[in-house]
Amino acid sequence: MPVVVAEYLGQRTDVDDVQIEPVEDGSLVQCPFMIGHCSKVKKKLKPVCSVRKTDGTIWITCQHRLCATMNGTLSGHQIDVLHDIGRTVFHPSVRADEVCVRREVRMTVNDGTDYNADYIMTLSNGKSPYPGPDRFVLEMQGGGETSQTGKISSHIRLWEKAPLRTNELLRQPVSAGTIETNAWRRQQEQFIVKGNISMKTWKGYGIVFCVGAPLFDYLKNKLVDANLPNLRTYNWTLAVVGFSEDKGEEKRAGSVPYRVDEERLLFTNYQTFVQALINQGEPSLDAFSGTFMTLEGRVVQIPRDGIIEGRN
């Protein structure tokens, strides 16, 4: 399924009022979503922040697009996103000056391995008067992978060199795709390890994952039979918060507006969620029987009951 470049260095490609200009590989250019330089351009990569799938949803391709965690002063974009999250997981009445965060917080597991929580979020007095955790690990979706990434880069190079460079040319479909499977695999470890640390640390702590709409939908389909309890107005300990393009705003030059999607929210119990992850597999008798080969190259048939023919 083809994709189109949705944002180039924070500029949406589906408007033509302002012509997007290419940037030089390896140069220092301002990231539109944090106070700092674009990490992709510095690495001589094309500054594709996101791509649009054929169903219209946005797939985040840059680790800093949703809400960067790098230390320093928070940008206006980061403040808006974090406030939106605070109002969603605590209460709609929560003010920006009540929401408190720490960034890139080190968390150690029992084998000595270090993990970094993207954020720790709480309210200004460390307590929440609302249902749910007082404090929680807050994880942001990093850059999602695409298949045929080289084709996207080649397409952008052709646009850069085109005699008549237009936004319409930049947003032409490319034969590439999104790889939700890989993003989900990475997230599972984060769910289990960082969530467990949070649960062990203190009663009343939790974990929240913020992801783009395609990854939320992929996760929901994975757990469709899990019957996870909806605990949004109770003592939930794990939440998945989906972000979608805000199509209520008129299209204009700049970045694609994002907001928490009220149709893509999951508030549930951490232990129940982890159990649902474990219970995804089904019995696979055929995988454990059939044609095997000995280490010396002899072919043997292993029956389903585990008893090899001719052996007691």
One digit per residue, pLDDT tens: the chain, 312 residues?
799 999 999 999 999 999 999 999 999 999 999 999 999 999 999 999 999 999 999 999 999 999 999 878 999 999 999 999 999 999 999 999 999 999 999 998 887 788 899 999 999 999 999 999 999 999 998 778 999 999 999 999 999 999 999 999 999 999 999 999 998 888 888 888 999 999 999 888 999 999 999 999 999 998 888 889 999 999 999 999 999 999 988 899 999 999 999 999 999 999 999 998 888 778 888 899 999 999 999 999 999 875 555 454
pTM to 2 decimal places: 0.90
Q: Find residue 121's DSSP bridge partners.
A: 101, 136
Would you put residue 140 in left (φ > 0), alpha (ψ -120 to 50) or beta? beta
Query: Among positive and negative, which fits the CA dihedral 304, 306, 311, 312?
Result: negative
pLDDT given for residue 72 in this prediction: 81
The pair of three-digit structure tokens given for residue 224, joined into one six-digit string:
């469709």
Rounded alpha-carbon distances, angstroms, from residue 302 to 3, 282, 284: 46, 20, 14
Query: Among positive and negative, which fits the CA dihedral 213, 215, 216, 218?
Result: positive
The Cα 65–Cα 48 span in angstroms is 10
pLDDT given for residue 310 in this prediction: 47
CA end-to-end span of the chain, whole Å?
Answer: 54
Count of beta carbons in the 10 Å neighbourhood of residue 85: 24
**3 state DSSP class of 104:** strand
Determine which helix (DSSP H) or strand (DSSP E) holds 200, and give its type and residue range. Answer: helix 180-201
pLDDT given for residue 309 in this prediction: 52
The pair of three-digit structure tokens given for residue 220, joined into one six-digit string:
């929901």
Closest by CA to 213, choosing from 238, 232, 241, 185, is 241
